[in-house]
Amino acid sequence: MARLRTVSFLLLVILALPSCQGGEPSGQGEHGSVLADQEIDGFALTQTRDGQKEWVLRADRALVFEEAGRVEMTAFRVDFFTESGDVRSTLTARNGLLMRRTNDMEAFGDVLLYAEDGTRLTTERLTWNERTGKIQSDRFVRVVQGRDEFTGVGIEADPDLKNIRVLSEFEAFVRTPDGELVEED
């Protein structure tokens, strides 16, 4: 009987191992208490307005929570488009969240927003407000535009980084011809 219990215990441990491995979503939400309604590998969603593509969202994996109206994603990427259909900027992050009722998004973990003109914004957390068409962050941000660079805490901007408003602790730097960053007065 003791041998049967040992074999049963080992069988349970072996069956439980795949669900404990890191790197794979468990089918649970960010708080680990609610099971996802769907798990989708290779998730993609396109937002259009009057037949024109506004943005395309892609993720390696998505967990869909129907009742909460949210989609949690890994390896998150959003391409924003101009009216003529060209990519105006690309947002990438380790993880993302989409609120289905509003199409608001949140990107977090190694966030990079790269505009078609070469301007780059980096931060740890960034949101997209579908209603206003603005990206926002309340975190430390770094923006590099050509040879210039500025930092601050909090930002509101268009997705192509043409109109940027830093909310606090703004500091600007200029890169000298020999590559040194010098604080601008």
Mean predicted confidence (pLDDT) in 46-54: 91
Whether residue 126 contacts residue 116, with contact meaning beta carbons closer than 8 Å, is answered with no
Listed by start position, the domains of the chain span 35-183
Mean predicted confidence (pLDDT) in 13-36: 45
- Rounded CA-CA distance 40/91 in Å is 20
What is the reported pTM? 0.76
Q: Sorting pLDDT into bands at 50, 70 and 90, what band is 183?
A: confident
Mean predicted confidence (pLDDT) in 67-81: 94
Highest mean pLDDT among 14-23, 26-35, 114-123, 175-184: 114-123
Residue 105 forms beta bridges with which residues? 98, 128
Q: Sorting pLDDT into bands at 50, 70 and 90, what band is 32?
A: low
Whether residue 73 contacts residue 93, with contact meaning beta carbons closer than 8 Å, is answered with no
Task: Quote the mean pLDDT of the chain.
Answer: 83
Q: Which CATH superfamily is domain 35-183 in?
A: Lipopolysaccharide (LPS) transport protein A like domain (2.60.450.10)
More confident residue, 184 or 22: 184
* pLDDT tens-place string over residues 158-177: 999 999 999 999 988 887 77
- Rounded CA-CA distance 172/8 in Å is 65
The number of C-alpha atoms within 13 Å of 9 and in the hemisphere containing its C-beta is 6
| pLDDT at position 19 | 34
Q: 149 pLDDT exceeds 50? A: yes
